[in-house]
Amino acid sequence: MGDIISIGTEIWRGGVNTWDCDEMGHMNVRFYVTRATEGLAGLAAELGMPFAFALHANATLLIREQHIRFLREAHAGASLHMTGGVISISETEAWLLQVIYHSDSGEPAATFQTRVAHVTARDGLAFAWPDAILKRAERLMVEVPPYAAVRSLTLSPVESQASLAKADALGMQNIALGAIMPQECDVFGRMRPEQFIGRVSDGIGRLVQPLRKIVSDNAGISLGPIGGAVLEYRLIYLDWPMAGDRVTVRSGLQGADSRTMRVLHWILDPETGKAWGTSEAVVITFDLDARKVVPISDTARALLLDQATPGLTL
């Protein structure tokens, strides 16, 4: 990747706790999003909104969409920091860049391209950026570095077709079901962003463990214990559950190539059937001893495609 130069302004600094890590031995995806959300408060302050996420705020930033690339594992005890900047800005929205770095090496651990809306804090109604913020945004403009660019996914606009009825019709697996607790919500009562990806992470084993077994059983090489990891993620936030609302996650395999699988998730309201959000992830099967990707053989790929859900989209 060559020498890495930090992009943008520092907006967060901290590290990885033991309880941030999962059974794969590295920081779980939900805690990357937790850090990114905290970093977003720092970036909002740089834009002139230092209290954007405080209870008394009149305006805040509401996440509409995120693209994440996971570049290097972060283990317990690792020191991390984050920088941020503005990729582009329109009348009521902006694309923001956040990069989490390993502080000791300077190498990027993960990147976020996040589309946010400037909204009223409690009602979530979009309204125009003040001139003062637009001027600050000019000084915070950055370009997306190659390592943060979209790779296997796309950021093309999507008109989501997700619903409980369609999930049932497609035969999508139910990998998670529960209710939103008050401690999972922000000061405005909306579910915190990391809960979207966290609910998927909690239930993903039901979907991918049989798929990983297909890959490992047909790898043709000696392997250690098998796990998995995510390389790239796209999350689209369509609505925000409140405390007491229920969520179910329906998931399916979209496709596979010689190295990765692509899985899609619909986060739905089991009462009304509407979609809270959708996500798409590029995942790998991982040799936990070698910390390397397990390739997908032609035989494994054919078997995986037999498990794919036709017509599955964001």
Report domain extents, the chain.
Answer: 1-149, 155-314
The per-residue pLDDT for range 116-133, each reduced to its tens digit, is 999 999 999 999 999 999
| Residue in 288, 306, 307, 277 with CA at minimum distance from that of residue 65 | 277
Q: Would the pLDDT of 6 be above 90?
A: no
CATH 2.60.20.30 correct for 1-149: no
Percent of the chain with pLDDT over 70: 99
- What are the tens digits of pLDDT across the range 40-53? 999 999 999 999 99
* CA pair distance 251, 229, nearest whole angstrom: 17
- Both tokens of 72, joined, read 């290097």
Rounded average pLDDT over 78-101: 98
Please give the pLDDT value at position 3.
Answer: 58
Q: The domain 155-314 is classified under which CATH number: 3.40.50.10260, 3.30.428.10, 3.10.129.10, 3.40.250.10?
A: 3.10.129.10
Which residues have CB under 8 Å from 273's CB, separation 6+? 163, 164, 165
On the question of a common fold for 1-149 and 155-314, the answer reads yes
